[in-house]
Amino acid sequence: MSEIAEFQQLNRQTVPNHVAIIMDGNGRWANLRGKPRIFGHRAGVESVRRAVSFACEKGIRVLTLFAFSSENWRRPKDEVSGLMDLFSWALTSEVKKLHRNQVKLKVIGDRSVFSESFVKRISDAEKLTENNDGLLLNVAVNYGGRWDIINAVKRICAEMSDKGESFDADVLNEQLVSEHLEAPQDVDLLIRTGGEKRISNFLLWQLAYSEMYVSDVLWPDFNEEVFQRAVEYFASRERRFGCTGEQIRGGKR
Ligand code: FPP
């Protein structure tokens, strides 16, 4: 298939293949109710369930959720430890249901700083679901887009050195770097709740050609209706990938 025909096909998609979500607004949601921030994070778990069910129903292939950025360690200590406990709990309590629904779970990010028991819980959950062929659910914890790119290049270098080869910069190309990222699939639709129009060091490489939908809804209020609006917005966009509108609509060069 020619490159333009490939872009035309991508432009005709009504359901995005890969949706990434920046789940923002938990703290504000809790503040509005006079509660501590962790209350909002806990309420956010229900929105995660809704988002995963919706993605499965719609036939979305990959859903990547930004749960904790490499910069979120700067938050107050009790919020950070509350969040880590919540992830650990959610991982164990939700994994069986994910497995029953053929969801394949992957935690992306730098896990070198996590406790041994947390790393084990992650690996157990990933192992249990690794052969599932439904939705791929990536949960980004201690993740940063810049880290992901640097890490991909480090992995490439390590593989070359394992093969006894010296590093040759000419081997670097987009496909090779993509393949070594934590989540190699390009994002089609990025959703951000909480109203801010920022990427916040999320999937920097993978977001190159994604459509972006920002909702003012705070994450604990995120539901199927908001997700559906985002998908409809995506379907209405003309995706050009650097080509002209005529090329994408008519196939002219
Ligand atoms: C951003 O809101 C949210 C987070 C940093 C944490 C997201 C975590 C969850 C939704 C909990 C459940 C997740 C999983 C994967 C089980 P914020 O605190 O920045 O909100 P604010 O902008 O209103 O302060």
Residue 159 inside a domain? The answer is: no
Q: Are strands 62-69 and 136-143 parallel, antiparallel or unpaired?
A: parallel
Cβ–ligand 1 distance for 72 under 6 Å, the answer: yes
Cβ–ligand 1 distance for 182 under 6 Å, the answer: no
Per-residue pLDDT at 131: 98
Alpha-helix residue ranges (DSSP H) falling in the chain: 3-12, 26-32, 37-58, 77-100, 116-129, 145-162, 174-179, 224-236, 245-250
Residue 213 inside a domain? The answer is: yes
Residue 153 inside a domain? The answer is: no
Would you name the residues annotated as active-site residues?
A: 24, 72
- Boundaries of domain holding 45: 3-148+187-248
Quickly state the pLDDT bin for 113 (edges 50, 70, 90): very high
The residue nearest atom 1 of ligand 1, judged by CA position, is 24
Task: Encode pLDDT of 13-55 as tens digits.
Answer: 889 999 999 999 999 999 999 999 999 999 999 999 999 999 9
Q: Which atom of ligand 1 is closest in space to residue 141's alpha carbon?
A: 15
Q: Are strands 18-22 and 62-69 parallel, antiparallel or unpaired?
A: parallel
Q: What is the value of pTM for the model shown?
A: 0.93
User: Bigger pLDDT: 34 or 253?
Assistant: 34
CATH number at residue 125: 3.40.1180.10
